[in-house]
Amino acid sequence: MYILDEQTKELKEISETTFSENGLKERYDLQEWIDNNPRILAKELGAQEELLIIQKEFSEFDKTNERLDLLALDKKGNLVIIENKLDDSGKDVVWQALKYVSYCSALTQREIIEIYQNYLNKKGLPVNAEDKIIDYLENENFSLNTGNTQRIILVAKEFRPEVTSTVLWLRSNNIDIQCIKVVPYMWNQNLIIDVDKIIPVPEIEKFTIRVSLKDAEEKKNAITQNMNAELYSKYWAKLLECAKSRDFSLYDKRTGSQSCWISTGAGLTNIQYNLILLKDKIRVELYINKESSDDNKKIFNLLKEEKDIIEDRFGAELTWELLEDKKASRISISSNDSFNRDDMANWDRSIDWHIENMKKFENAIKPSLEKIKTKVSN
């Protein structure tokens, strides 16, 4: 690794060092870095992937006291086992990780939520684990740890040939395992960490034995998801039909949806007006989800500069969510009335709320969106 000396126009080599030379520990340093900022791994995992750390030093396995370093979820609800080493991977790290995967493959959805809640409680965060998972997955009807989709990430400065050889063989047999190299450098008494993927991410694998309890849960989840998809389809079809007679043309180009939301463009690429139908609440929102997180935060902040004007147009306070730990940002308002998605007798009331509030919401937001178009890339 090199750094540019701007005065001499020379590239000067930065000295590679080791974790041990700098008194760094696996448990108290490397593990904490990833726990506090899982984005350290995100770029190397590809596709702007974000991981949600749900536990560290997890040891609640049946009939064994072994402890894995970090347990996470990916955006598909798969469990991710992260095993950290420092300067040397050692020769047994793959076997160690595979054991953890076999243990974790039996975890049910409810158990995973409880594991995450315990993690949040230990950190002193007064939040509900299930709500956090819904927000992370952007799916109210999520499923966790389905089938044999568990993943392994090995992190170390150096990987032994017997480790990389085994990893490559596992990949060829559809086991989702990857190696990420973390190398420390010293420059002007500052420690610089370079993170690099040395083995590409394989396709999702099928591995390990299914447990009967988890099988039953997965079948139940599949049935529930199919029922919910049918329910959403009926709700949005009814709303779109009602919209035709209400002088509400914003969603005219939409034919329906089987998800808990239905969206339409707001005049800028990847910025959408969403109608949201959750189990016990409904809302309307502007969802800002361009490719760049920086662009999303810029657009959000430009709109927030007109917060008073927008809320005055709407006639009420809105919820402004920068969502600092996510790529997207959101402006929304939710109904204050009690609501039950499954009670079709109340759909007329919720459809009225959706249509009337999205009308007002679009009229409040649109002039400000038009105003900032020249300041942002489309």
CATH code assigned at 176: 3.40.1350.10
149: left (phi over 0), alpha (psi -120 to 50) or beta: alpha
Domain count for the chain: 2
- Write down the pLDDT at residue 212: 46
Same domain, yes or no, for 127 and 225? no
**What pTM was estimated for this model as a whole?**
0.54
Asked if residue 332 and residue 225 are part of one domain, the reply reads yes
Which parts of the chain have pLDDT scores under 70? 43-48, 200-216, 219, 377-378
- The range of the structural domain enclosing residue 97 comes to 2-210
**What was the pLDDT predicted at 378?**
65
Q: Is the CB of residue 57 less than 8 Å from the CB of residue 69?
A: yes
Six-digit token pair at 199?
A: 């083995």
The long-range contacts involving 247-250, CB below 8 angstroms and separated by at least 24 positions, are: 248/355, 248/358, 248/359, 250/358, 250/359, 250/362
- Both 293 and 352 in one domain: the answer is yes
- SS3 category, 294: helix
For residues 157 and 236, membership in a common domain is answered with no
The residue among 210, 231, 255 that closes a domain is 210
Q: What is the pLDDT of residue 374?
A: 81
221 and 205 share a domain?
A: no
Query: From the DSSP assignment, how many helices (H) and strands (E) are in the chain?
Result: 10, 14
Instruction: Identify the CA nearest to 199 among candidates 230, 237, 162, 159.
Output: 159
Listed residue (298, 301, 292, 294) closest to 270, CA to CA: 292
Query: pLDDT at position 260, please?
Result: 93
Looking at residue 26, its pLDDT comes to 82
Specify whether 185 is located in the same domain as 228: no
C-alpha–C-alpha distance, residues 366 and 310, integer Å: 9
